[in-house]
Every structure is written in C-alpha cells, then in structure tokens.
Amino acid sequence: MNENNIIISNFDNGIGMSQETLQQAFDYLFTTKPVGKGTGLGLSICRQIIEGKHNGKLLCNSEIGKGSTFIIEIPN
C-alpha cells in the first residue's frame, strides 16, 4: 500500500470465507447463495468501479470463523 493513497478498510465479524471461496469472490456471477437469493454481481461490480474508474484496488482478507476485511485503496 502506498501511504499517499486513500485507504478504506471495512471489517465484518461474520462467518468468513474459505480460501477457495475467497479466490472466486470477485468473479462475475459468483455467489454462495441459493438460486434466486443472490446475483453474484456485487463484488465484481465494486472491483470494476474501483479499478476501472478510480485506478484503485479492492482487496479482501478472510478467515473462516473470524470474518472478512475488505480494503479499498484509491490514489490520492
């Protein structure tokens, strides 16, 4: 991370994600929800906006049973 960038970090204390799920989390149409309950668009669209429009990065660290941290880094 560049210290001159704007960094937004969001932590949740939910169930977390396995490494397998985390590797796919930003894939277009990927969802862990049942049919009709999730579109699989959210994180994919977020990444497109952050990287494509703002030249930034969207990262995620997650651990089963401990939750997830999403980090947005945008050039200042």
CATH classification of the domain holding 38: 3.30.565.10
Quote the number of domains for the chain.
1
Instruction: Average the pLDDT over 59-69 and give the result.
Output: 96
Distant-in-sequence, close-in-space partners of 25: CB < 8 Å, separation ≥ 6? 17, 43, 60
Three-state DSSP state, 71: strand
pLDDT in tens, 7-22: 999 999 999 999 999 9
pLDDT in tens, 30-60: 888 888 887 888 999 999 999 999 999 999 9
Question: Is residue 13, in this structure, part of any structural domain at all?
Answer: yes
Which has the closest alpha carbon to 67: 28, 9, 26, 24? 9
Range of the domain at 50: 6-74
The whole-angstrom separation of Cα 48 and Cα 26 is 10
How many residues appear in the chain?
76
pLDDT at 1: 66
DSSP for residue 65: T
